[in-house]
Chains A and B, each alone.
Chain A
Amino acid sequence: MTGTILSLRNVSKHFRGLVAINDVSIDLAAGTISSLIGPNGAGKSTLFNLITGYLAPTTGTIHFGDLRIDRMPTQRIAALGIARAFQIAKPFPELSVLDNVRIGALFGKSGARDVARVTAEALDVTGLRELADRPALSLTVGYLRRLELARAIAARPELLLADEPCAGLNHTETDEIVAILRRVRAAGVTILLVEHDMTAVMAVSDQVFVLDAGTKIAEGSAETVKQDPRVIAAYLGDASEDAA
């Protein structure tokens, strides 16, 4: 570990009257996989949108390394080395798998250097090499997720934001995604994962952050978080509330 790569300080996001994110502070250690979990509507996607510059925080700051990024346009942030893989894969449907990944490589942090090699590596890491010539629209959901990851990895990010890469996948497919994430971490990329699949979260996370109703209610290793009473309450409902 070489210190903190991403740091959110007292970040809040209000939509008119609604508080979507409430005073959240998070530090990601470089070279780790962190997971962001929480019930539906907890603010996980909003947090991703804040980090990637789709939204600007109402208050608080976001630093990537030493750079403040919370007022930067999306493509600047992408060029700095933050890539995002969407839950609902957004491939370029008419293009081949190879061309999809190549666009990631061309415009990511790697710039135009070594595009062919970076593209090939991303295809290898995600096991897509055999499908390189297929049009993206012919892939199944599981392979689309891999393509989403491959395109993000090809950008040579320092930080990869993965939005529910395992949602809707079966066990075998989930295991493959987990293996891919581990390979990506081994290559030195820090990963922030939003995931509902607890098996996957427990398997890969070095650190887990729990959001509930826009507030961070717990953080720590997967094991500690799992036993935290506030987390259990958030997921299962508070026993005392139910009794009342």
Chain B
Amino acid sequence: MLREGIAAHRRWIVASLVAIVLLALAPLWLAPFHVRVGQQFLLSAGLALAWTILGGFAGYWSFGHAAFIGLGAFSAALSMPALAGLPPLAAFLVALAIGCIACGVLAAAIAYPILRLRGIYFAIAMLGVSQVVAELNNNLDFLKGSMGVTLPAIVPRAIDPATWFYYAFLIATVLTLAIAFAVKTSRIGHGLVAIREDEDTARMLGVPTERYKIMMFVLSAMLAGLFGIIYAWSLGYITSGSVYRTDFSLNMIVYSLLGGIGTLIGPIIGALLMVVLTQVVLGQLLDIHMMLTGILLVALVLLAPRGLTGFVRERRRARRGEGAP
């Protein structure tokens, strides 16, 4: 299936490779401020893609993926003292693995009961999960959520940290895109779409709905954790307030929705559009930029309820004159 998927999407793959090369070269000529905007874009796109693996493909909209960003960040941060014997970069990579595994374990532990909920009930339950995890992290003293944790520097002196983290986010985002592509074009991806469209019918056709949902929930959580960890190190110092952020949870959904739910290009376009608009274009208008962002969101949702990709697809279909009879 994967081979067929690659063959069928050759143009997209070539375009993605070109985009990746351009993104890899970009820091050579970008101003420092724009490197940070680039970081923001890669982080946003990567998180939206991680969310899409469950929310976009299977239609299980998590409103609380920030739980995994925070959990990943803190479990990696708190394991650093135990890794003090290793060279900084090696210690970071081990902590990265520990953080991702912690997210996977939490997701697996709550998957069975929580994935029995459908639609808005699952969304609300995940919102609850993120609140509980954030509160625990904040209030249990040994988890240092309110006091905060300082993270050891890992970037070599010769390299600008902003550039180093730009590449770290780039690698994580490309990895997430590759995983999401493999999922989408495989048998499992078709099963997830069937679950999204009609879960009971999917089960009747032999789709192992429970197993698929749990697997994707765990995968999506681990990838969200991965970004949370890199993000934490890019900050250098974290409190529970800086990683358990509700706006993270919301933005993953908003970017996927704006670009087009269920697609791979959608979350990337959505993140690009919103990050460029809010950081670059509207950044000049500090007083009213949140208001303009809000107006823009409403306008986009009204004009393109199926996201930008859906909008383009419908226009093309209309031009070919394929109306529903």
| A residues with CB within 8 A of B | 52, 74-75, 78-79, 83-84, 90, 92-95, 99, 102-104, 106-108, 112, 115, 134-135, 137-138, 140, 151, 155
Q: Which of B34-42, B192-200, B227-235 sits within the interface? A: B192-200
Residues of B contacting A90 in the complex (Cβ-Cβ under 8 angstroms): 198, 200-201
Query: In the bound complex, do residue A84 and residue B197 qualify as a contact, i.e. CB atoms below 8 Å apart?
Result: no
B203 touches which of A74, A102, A155 (Cβ 8 Å): A74
Query: In the bound complex, do residue A75 and residue B209 qualify as a contact, i.e. CB atoms below 8 Å apart?
Result: yes
Query: In the bound complex, do residue A99 and residue B205 qualify as a contact, i.e. CB atoms below 8 Å apart?
Result: no
Residues of B contacting A103 in the complex (Cβ-Cβ under 8 angstroms): 190-191, 193-194, 202, 205, 207
Query: In the bound complex, do residue B206 and residue A78 qualify as a contact, i.e. CB atoms below 8 Å apart?
Result: yes
B187 within 8 A of A: yes
Which of chain A's residues has its CB closest to B323's CB? A138
Known: A92-B193, A92-B194, A92-B198. A137 touches B324 (CB 8 A): yes
A151 touches which of B187, B203, B205, B208 (Cβ 8 Å): B205
Query: In the bound complex, do residue A94 and residue B197 qualify as a contact, i.e. CB atoms below 8 Å apart?
Result: yes
Given the complex of chains A and B, what is the CA–CA distance between A215 and B224 in angstroms? 56
Query: In the bound complex, do residue A75 and residue B206 qualify as a contact, i.e. CB atoms below 8 Å apart?
Result: yes
Query: In the bound complex, do residue B191 and residue A92 qualify as a contact, i.e. CB atoms below 8 Å apart?
Result: no
B325 within 8 A of A: yes
Apart from A107-B206, A138-B324, 6 more pairs, CB < 8 Å = A84-B204, A90-B201, A92-B194, A103-B193, A103-B202, A112-B187
Query: In the bound complex, do residue A78 and residue B193 qualify as a contact, i.e. CB atoms below 8 Å apart?
Result: no
B25 within 8 A of A: no
The distance from the CB of A129 to the nearest CB of chain B, in whole angstroms, is 17
Could you write out 24 A-B pairs with CB less than 8 Å apart?
A: A75-B203, A75-B207, A75-B209, A78-B206, A92-B193, A92-B197, A92-B198, A94-B197, A95-B193, A95-B197, A99-B190, A103-B191, A103-B194, A103-B202, A103-B207, A106-B190, A107-B194, A107-B202, A107-B207, A112-B1, A134-B322, A135-B324, A151-B205, A155-B205
Given the complex of chains A and B, what is the CA–CA distance between A203 and B309 in angstroms? 49
Query: In the bound complex, do residue A107 and residue B191 qualify as a contact, i.e. CB atoms below 8 Å apart?
Result: yes
The distance from the CB of B257 to the nearest CB of chain A, in whole angstroms, is 16
Given the complex of chains A and B, what is the CA–CA distance between A135 and B306 in angstroms? 15
Interface residues of B in 151-198 (CB under 8 A from A): 187, 190-191, 193-194, 197-198
Query: In the bound complex, do residue A93 and residue B197 qualify as a contact, i.e. CB atoms below 8 Å apart?
Result: yes
The distance from the CB of A148 to the nearest CB of chain B, in whole angstroms, is 10
Given the complex of chains A and B, what is the CA–CA distance between A42 and B202 in angstroms? 28
9 residue pairs, one from A and one from B, having the closest CB atoms: A92-B197, A78-B206, A107-B206, A138-B324, A90-B201, A79-B206, A103-B194, A107-B207, A75-B206
Interface residues of B in 15-39 (CB under 8 A from A): none
Which of chain B's residues has its CB closest to A73's CB? B203
Which of chain A's residues has its CB closest to B322's CB? A134
Given the complex of chains A and B, what is the CA–CA distance between A79 and B204 in angstroms? 9
The distance from the CB of B319 to the nearest CB of chain A, in whole angstroms, is 15
Given the complex of chains A and B, what is the CA–CA distance between A125 and B204 in angstroms? 22
Given the complex of chains A and B, what is the CA–CA distance between A103 and B197 in angstroms? 12
Given the complex of chains A and B, what is the CA–CA distance between A99 and B191 in angstroms? 11
Query: In the bound complex, do residue B191 and residue A78 qualify as a contact, i.e. CB atoms below 8 Å apart?
Result: no
Given the complex of chains A and B, what is the CA–CA distance between A49 and B178 in angstroms? 41
B187, B197, B202 — which one has the most chain A CB atoms within 10 A of its CB? B197
Given the complex of chains A and B, what is the CA–CA distance between A39 and B17 in angstroms? 63
Query: In the bound complex, do residue B191 and residue A106 qualify as a contact, i.e. CB atoms below 8 Å apart?
Result: yes
Residues of A contacting B209 in the complex (Cβ-Cβ under 8 angstroms): 75
Which of chain A's residues has its CB closest to B317's CB? A135
Given the complex of chains A and B, what is the CA–CA distance between A103 and B1 in angstroms? 13
Query: In the bound complex, do residue A104 and residue B187 qualify as a contact, i.e. CB atoms below 8 Å apart?
Result: no
Which of chain B's residues has its CB closest to A116's CB? B4
Interface residues of B in 272-325 (CB under 8 A from A): 322, 324-325
